[in-house]
Structure 1
Amino acid sequence: MKEQNDQSLAYTNITPTQQIIASSAGALLTSFFVTPLDVVKIRLQAQSKPFTKGKCFVYCNGLMDHLCVCLNGNSKAWYKVPGRFTGTVDAFVQIIRNEGVRSLWSGLPPTLVMAVPATAIYFTCYDQLRDILIHHMNNVETASLIAGATARLGSATLISPLELIRTKMQSRTLSYKELTSCIQSSVAKEGWLSLWKGWGPTVLRDVPFSAMYWYNYELGRKWLCQRYNKTEPTFSICFVSGALSGSFASVVTLPFDVVKTRRQIEVGESEVVHSSQKKSTSTWRIMRIIMSENGFSGLFAGLSPRLIKVAPACAIMISSYEFGKAFFRQLNSDRQLKTL
């Protein structure tokens, strides 16, 4: 109990504003380091199956995923293909040689628009809930599991309408007045719930992912601290724990990620063509369709690319976040000593 109380006190020594700053900095670093991987992946996809005007693809840097609309098929750096790539390394080399290093981060600005606020909300809510639950529970891991699931449910619910609005703005040039009219028209036809299209598959993927991630992260961090006789987790311990827990959660929740991707693309393309045609929206029905088309293995399509992005993204995000919090704790402690 004393150890749990000490951990709780360590977390309460940092303000919500400082948590927001630490999580935002982590989101920026994660997006910066992982974005090139997804730019290359999308370029390789475009090479094998070019995106046509009005089609959608999902951009995901392991931290956040966003639906992107192909406007003209040849001018956007994300899916412009100047030559043939023989593989991932060759794609990196050719993109840098032909278009410059900056092209590897061509998908960064739009993802930061949502990734930074969403991550700040999620991590700050998690820490606040975790601190409260630790005071009422005798198990840090259980508190982390519940706090992680609840925080992800809240952040996913808040961000879902913003994603839909962003898709509408991408599909055609809209002024804010036209966008408001478009949203009002959608709400009038289908109700307020129309702003949360695709929310179900998102929650089914992200909430279990978050619960498993934080539970295993706390277990892994505690085990590594004991293994190497550390009283406080180091940057490397946080990094390894984040990578391993993120990888495990990614594998378990991959079927819901496959469903969510398909659902996102359906919603995005219906927005582009302004179609009111309803497609299969049930998560379980989409799963049955995928299994009938590609077998059970179809639910685990894209496992390697997902792990390649999610593992480093989780590792960078959590280690930079913990580093930021440690910095602010020390800063607060120094300020208290000065006042004394």
Structure 2
Amino acid sequence: MGGHSSQSIEHGITPIQQMAASCSGALLTSLLVTPLDVVKIRLQAQKTPFPKGKCFVYCNGLMDHLCVCENGNNKAWYKTSGHFNGTADAFVRIVRNEGIRSLWSGLPPTLVMAVPATVIYFTSYDQLCMKLKVKMGDHAQFAPMVSGAVARVGAVSVISPLELMRTKLQSQKQSYRQLATCVRTAVEADGWLSLWRGLGPTLLRDVPFSAMYWYNYERSKKWLCERYDAVEPTFTMTFVSGAVSGLFSSVVTLPFDVVKTRRQVELGELQAMNLSHKASSTLSVMKRIVAQHGVLGLFAGFLPRIIKVVPACAIMISSYEFGKALFRKHNQEQTLKPPQTSKT
């Protein structure tokens, strides 16, 4: 019974169905987590209003992306109307004054970046992990760690040039023809690698996070199944495993996140202004933070990151596993159906 179940878990779903499950997971996570970022950015804007051309990082727990401020009041999530006395007050006053829909004002750019990145990431992870578990034999418990790291490199590398192009479009309202000219000029001046500018600091944080996340997630899930004598993990088990693993990975990789955010904003501002000179290196940014704020400066934003990433990880993985379970059940039902004889 256990062997048959394990076989169905590994092989009972197609890559297309994995993509559909991860896509629905990304949509659900973005819908639930976006209001947190909208409120955070409003609070940031009231402390230091964003000048024209200024970048900030927008993140829904799955994928970060840059947003360029064109005008202090032209988009809902830049507005600085009123004064908020903290997160709860901001939620209440935004809903009361602007309507509940304004909490999702940042959703379109989130979906543009998060959905394709998540589909690539989760599907690659599953496919790679399945193959590595067979090849690694006695060391199969490390397959999630390797698969998570490799899948993250792939997803971030594919999305990186799109991020650069979207930053330029957003900052200058260029047409696609102008954007193509701009990209061609950049490639002629600095080579094709210029399209992946800023990839290094992103990988420094995302790859260790992904390796730790998947390793701990699979271990936690297995432990919970054994603890409660379950053949397959329940929705609650995957939710708890995702939350615990997301918490641990977030804490360990926080210094890289702080450095990466600084560098991403700096590079985004250079890209928005079509400047090709290089931003500061990761090491120099780290040294600058320590010199200005001490070692604790590398752990800035601890609470907001935990509040955002932990529920995002839990929602994403549990909804993904739930979607896969539905497809698996559907596939098994289709297999068990007697073949229909065609009428002649």
Q: TM range, normalised to the smaller chain?
A: over 0.9
Residue 263 (structure 1) shift: 1.0
Is contact 1:171-1:271 (8 Å) kept? no
Q: Secondary structure at the match of 2:78?
A: coil
Q: Name stretches of at least 5 consecutive residues in structure 2 with no aligned partner.
A: 340-344
Partner of 1:230: 230
- In the aligned structure 2, how far is the partner of 1:270 from the partner of 1:59? 17
Instruction: Please tell me whether residue 194 in structure 1 is matched to residue 172 in structure 2.
Output: no
Deviates more, 1:323-332 or 1:9-18: 9-18
Partner of 2:342: none
Instruction: Please tell me whether residue 276 in structure 1 is matched to residue 276 in structure 2.
Output: yes
Partner of 2:170: 170
Instruction: Please tell me whether residue 266 in structure 1 is matched to residue 274 in structure 2.
Output: no
Instruction: Please tell me whether residue 79 in structure 1 is matched to residue 84 in structure 2.
Output: no
Q: Secondary structure at the match of 1:275?
A: coil
CA deviations on 1:174-217 (whole Å, 9 max, x unpaired) are 11111110000001111111001110011111111000000000
Partner of 2:183: 183
Relative distance call for 1:333 and 1:6 in structure 2 (3 A) is: closer
Structure 2 counterparts to residues 286-301 of structure 1, below 5 A: 286-301=285-300
Paired residue type of 1:64:
M
Residue 139 (structure 1) shift: 4.2
Paired residue type of 2:270:
S
- In the aligned structure 2, how far is the partner of 1:65 from the partner of 1:172? 21
Is contact 1:78-1:106 (8 Å) kept? yes
Is contact 1:8-1:131 (8 Å) kept? no
Structure 2 counterparts to residues 1-340 of structure 1, below 5 A: 7=6, 9-137=8-136, 138-280=138-280, 282-339=281-338
Paired residue type of 1:13:
G
CA deviations on 1:243-268 (whole Å, 9 max, x unpaired) are 01011101111111111111111111
Paired residue type of 2:98:
E
Relative distance call for 1:247 and 1:5 in structure 2 (3 A) is: farther
Paired residue type of 1:251:
V
Residue 87 (structure 1) shift: 1.2
CA deviations on 1:21-67 (whole Å, 9 max, x unpaired) are 00000000000000001100110111111111111111111111110
- In the aligned structure 2, how far is the partner of 1:327 from the partner of 1:37? 29
Residue 92 (structure 1) shift: 0.5
Q: Secondary structure at the match of 1:135?
A: helix
Residue 75 (structure 1) shift: 2.1
Paired residue type of 1:188:
E
Quick one: percent identity of the two aligned structures? 64
TM-score, normalising length from structure 2?
Answer: 0.95
CA deviations on 1:73-97 (whole Å, 9 max, x unpaired) are 1121112022111111110000000
- In the aligned structure 2, how far is the partner of 1:5 from the partner of 1:207? 33
Is contact 2:53-2:68 (8 Å) kept? yes
CA deviations on 1:97-119 (whole Å, 9 max, x unpaired) are 00000000000011101110110
Relative distance call for 1:242 and 1:329 in structure 2 (3 A) is: same
- In the aligned structure 2, how far is the partner of 1:278 from the partner of 1:158? 21
CA deviations on 1:117-171 (whole Å, 9 max, x unpaired) are 1100000000000110111123443111111111001111111111001101011
Residue 274 (structure 1) shift: 2.7
Q: Name stretches of at least 5 consecutive residues in structure 1 with no aligned partner.
A: none
Is contact 1:4-1:140 (8 Å) kept? no
Q: Secondary structure at the match of 2:56?
A: strand
Q: Secondary structure at the match of 2:77?
A: coil
Deviates more, 1:136-145 or 1:312-321: 136-145
- In the aligned structure 2, how far is the partner of 1:26 from the partner of 1:8? 24
Equivalent pairs counted in the alignment come to 338
